[in-house]
Amino acid sequence: MAEPCCSSGTSGQTAGATTGPQPEPASVKEALFRISAMDCATEEGEIRHALAGVDGIRGLRFLLAERVLAIDAEVAALNSALAAIRRLGFNPEPISTDQRPSAAQTRAERRFERLRLAGSLALAITAELLHLVVPPFPGHELLEIGIAIAAIALAGFSVFRKGLAALRQGRLNINALMSVAVTGAFLIGRFPEAAMVMALYAVAEAIEARAVQRARQAITSLMALAPDEAEIRQSDGRWQRVSASAVAIGDVVRVRPGERLPLDGTVLSGVSAINQAPITGESLPVDKGPGDEVFAGTINQGGALEIQVTAPASLSTLARIIHAVEEAQASRAPIQRFIDRFAARYTPAVFVVALAVALLAPPLLGFTPLQAIYKALVLLVIACPCALVIATPVTVVSGLATAARRGIIIKGGLYIEEARKIKVLALDKTGTITLGQPKLVAFSPQQETADAGVLKQWASSLAERSDHPVSRAMAVGLDGERLAVEAFEALPGRGVRGVIAGRHLMLANHRWIEELGLCSSALEASMQVHERQGRSLSLLADNSGVLALIAVADTVRPSSAAAMEALRALGVTPVMLTGDNAATAGAIAAQAGIEQVKSNLLPQEKLEAVAVLQARYGFAAMAGDGINDAPALAKADIGFAMGAAGTHIAIEAADVVIMNDDLMRVPETIALSRRTFTILRQNIALALGIKALFLVLTVAGNATMWMAVFADMGTSLIVIANGLRLLRTPMLGKIKGSAWSGTIRSEPCRCEPNGSTP
């Protein structure tokens, strides 16, 4: 259900042949291209639009800070893509991975960019002062023209180049508008104003690009925490530091107290408290010992650990989270797609209006030709859609980053916008509402002559072959030597069966036993005693009858009741969907505060139940473990995967991944979605409102070109700052009528290198 897409980037250069050696796309999955003028969201949209019709492109990644575009495509498609990019006026230069600009190079480029823009603005101000303050003198106008040309050259050379390319293709983008407006102002003798317009526009574009990149890097800077090196054990027992990317699965890594874990793995020896906040958002450290899973990027706060690596650096939980968030940041929310379509029509419409003013204002309104042309040029500047286009991506990306800091991985702009619509939440019981770590509490043979030890062996041997939480609890709780099981088979929603020493046996739930006609009134009475206590029951049986009754008890998550209260305060109805029996489901639901319960459901019946909820309530979400509940999660409008830390399938398949199993993250997601959408609407209203105001001022004759650019730049800064509030605000609101405060803190975990918290 998640929608992978591209990321953000911008701008371009002149069309022409690409210099240097061509990449080898046939052997490399992703080809990298540097586009030196890539700097704004509008141009990213142009590149994206130009490549949308090229078949064979598997994926795009725009690395805005580095001005690099990564294209994953077939050979023929790659050549077509490069040709399409060049037609836009961009010059993609092929580079290899090791040629990507370093952080120092990027900083140097930014310093040069700031100096260039500062010089342009200073020259534009000088030209304006020369025109307004300094009395005329011989050569005055030539000096004014020279300074204005220098300012325009510093700020707008690439703008003119891209604008001309757009005009040649009949496209009216922002570069075309600014090129026409500045050229027109220069031709009618408004030299200082033309320079000021171009300088202010260039500054505004630089600020916008930096703001978008800051929002996009918010999560990467938080999550890119795994160290570059790992200390691994050599074959002779020595320890040696090597690059983390060179460590193989199965290698043993040593992590000292206070260090960050370089890779995912399983603890072999040592006991320690691990700060998992960068991965799961948990505020408290988690105790880890032999056999426990640990994740790259987390902090070892206690003793030394020896860890067996279970995934390479490129496939660690941390790497997969970063990849998921990058794809989410690249996707387009519905409102963002609407704004893009609106801007595509709005800009040409204003261009037509400006042309009409230039041609019709003199005969109809009595303006002089120069006055009419000037007003038309002001309208062109007002037509700049930058503030409108930038209003949505900064806000959406900030919301995604804020969620990720809380251990909530939202798989696209679509879901952060639409989570606000959730009216009903279906929840799986085991592992979602409960801890999913049941324990064996009773084993009762049902035949007097049966050997209890043998029955336990049979039951534990069957249970050991299943990965269901109830089966795992039985396998751990039952003593005895494990026996070989032949023809083992798991039947979803019923149980497991197999052959042990020639005897056909099954571990079945109540439903299956009834279907087989093996239930008796005495057995029913025994089961009801356990079911009233909320226990899950399994029955060991053969073809002749039930041999033993096994009871397992799970416990409700500490956060479940508060999460249900918060959901109701948000106007969301929680509904439990479980394959367990009605009595057990009812007991758990009562503890969690859930009124609507549907029990004894097979996976297909859960899917059907979600469809019924959608028909009754409208927008329905589902929370489950991401694997067993896959059909229902796919059917729901939004699927929340619980227990996802380290689970590849959940991260890949779910729409929203809750990294620490805390159900409170679901109402937090809904509250964040509502907050994000509120800011989106504020930004759009601001952008359109200020443009409408300046349209009126232009018609009234009180607006100048540089004032229009300044207002547009100011609007862009306002919507950017408003969107970035999602990164900085310490609270996203309280849910009225609930004991839950609704606090969603967006600050990253500020942990000292030694693992302590300041």
Tokens of 443: 């084993």
- How far, in Å, are 74, 84, 181, 321 from residue 29 at the CA level? 9, 20, 43, 21
* Active site annotation includes 428: yes
The residues near 108 (Cβ < 8 Å, ≥ 6 apart) are: none
- How far, in Å, are 220, 394, 731, 732 from residue 725 at the CA level? 18, 10, 10, 10
Catalytic residue among 39, 340, 428, 580: 428
CA atoms within 13 A on the CB side of 536: 31
The residues near 660 (Cβ < 8 Å, ≥ 6 apart) are: 276, 280, 281, 282, 407, 645
Tokens of 723: 């969107």
Cβ(622)–Cβ(632) below 8 Å: yes
Report the candidate in 426, 410, 407, 409 with the shortest Cα–Cα distance to residue 418: 410
Please give the helix or strand (H or E) that residue 169 lies within, else none.
Answer: none
The residues near 114 (Cβ < 8 Å, ≥ 6 apart) are: 206
Query: What is the spatial distance between Cα 683 and Cα 665, in angstroms, rounded to a whole number?
Result: 26
Please give the helix or strand (H or E) that residue 661 lies within, else none.
Answer: none
DSSP 135: P
CA atoms within 13 A on the CB side of 643: 19
Report the candidate in 150, 196, 361, 188 with the shortest Cα–Cα distance to residue 712: 196
Query: What is the spatial distance between Cα 88 and Cα 441, in angstroms, rounded to a whole number?
Result: 70
DSSP 263: S
DSSP 571-634: T-EEEEE-SS-HHHHHHHHHHHT--EEE-S--HHHHHHHHHHHHHHHSSEEEEE-SSTTHHHHH
Please give the helix or strand (H or E) that residue 441 lies within, else none.
Answer: strand 439-445
Which amino acid is present at 180? Answer: V
DSSP 593-611: T--EEE-S--HHHHHHHHH
The residues near 57 (Cβ < 8 Å, ≥ 6 apart) are: 51, 71, 72, 73, 77, 81
Query: What is the spatial distance between Cα 674 and Cα 422, in angstroms, rounded to a whole number?
Result: 10
N-terminal to C-terminal alpha carbon distance within the chain: 40
Query: What is the spatial distance between Cα 158 and Cα 164, in angstroms, rounded to a whole number?
Result: 10
Residues in the chain: 758
The residues near 654 (Cβ < 8 Å, ≥ 6 apart) are: 2, 411, 626, 633, 639, 640, 641, 644
Cβ(745)–Cβ(731) below 8 Å: yes
Place of tokens 């639409």: 418
Active-site residue list: 428
